[in-house]
Amino acid sequence: MDTFGRRLRELREQAGLSQPALARMVPISQSSLSRYESGRQAVARDIAERLDELLGAGGSLTATLAPTALHGADVDRERLAHLAARPRSIDTAALDALADVLAATRRLEDAVGAASVLLPERAHVDFLTELAVDAHGPLRRRVVNLAGQWAQHHGWLHTALERYDEADVWFGRALLWAIESEDDDLAATVWSFKGHVAWLRGNLGATLGFTEVARRYRDVYAGQAAYDALQAARAYAATGDAYAVDRLTDEAVELSARALDELPGAPPWHYYRSPAFWDLERGRALHLLPGRAQRAADLLAAGLDALPADQRAADWAEAYRRDLLAAQARCG
């Protein structure tokens, strides 16, 4: 089945038009048209219909548009379509719409998995990257911050799909944008994810190193601090250091209680920090420690049972199921 980009290129070439010539007729930039053809940028419906008209496609081009799966019910689609056609028209309302798309994408990924979201999200990430490169003036800080949030989530998608080199690239971009926009919460989150990637690669030293960097950010959401205490505990459990595990899990209990109180005002990417999540993380921290397998299994089972329905099929939930099986095996 033809994609929009492939069909657009085919129709343009049949009409004997260059990219610059067709772009002037729309009118849009030649670079936008190039990204449409390569599938690297989402296409607003009004632009698709205009291209359909210019190329005499009789609606067949517009019919190839992928459904806007990443746009939740509350997203301002007209604002996004306008912005996609005219990136230099960025304003606070457009940034609000892009933030809403990211929130919808996170929840969609919980339901359908990282693999289904990765390619559609890439067009949005590339678009935010372009905005971050060009943004200036009073809005630059927010544009850069939002680009960092998209890059952080894109890094997570690659992590979930075990594409760790790609994850490192996107986390690197997210960290630079977090630093430029002076967002300690985002920076701490990115360092923490880098620690998680190191854990998945079997590198305990880097896991602890990156996690300790995240823990240096003091004035951040308590849920981030609680998670990092438990991530460090997990690494120490792998070394058999029961004292460090107990110290860190005790610290996390207090922090996670604060995190639940603070959740309504937390950065949007922390939406999943529920009581069930904290049981899962405590179980994960304990399940590698000798003599704690039963307690770990109890926590992991309770956390999985209490997960909201829309999170039970998430890639990250499957990882906790594997931890539960490992803990149960150690219980005999």
* pLDDT tens column, 100-147: 989 999 998 988 889 988 988 988 898 889 889 888 888 999 999 999
**Which pTM value belongs to this model?**
0.75
Separation between Cα atoms, residue 49 and residue 250, nearest integer Å: 59
> What kind of architecture, by CATH, is found in domain 1-65?
Orthogonal Bundle (1.10)
pLDDT digits (tens, 9 = 90+) for 5-46: 888 999 999 999 999 999 999 988 888 888 888 876 667 777
**Does residue 77 carry a pLDDT above 60?**
no
What is the residue-averaged pLDDT of the chain? 88
Separation between Cα atoms, residue 169 and residue 159, nearest integer Å: 11
Asked whether the beta carbons of 310 and 287 are under 8 A apart, the reply is no
Comparing 36-45, 59-68, 119-128, 314-323, the range with the smallest average pLDDT is 59-68
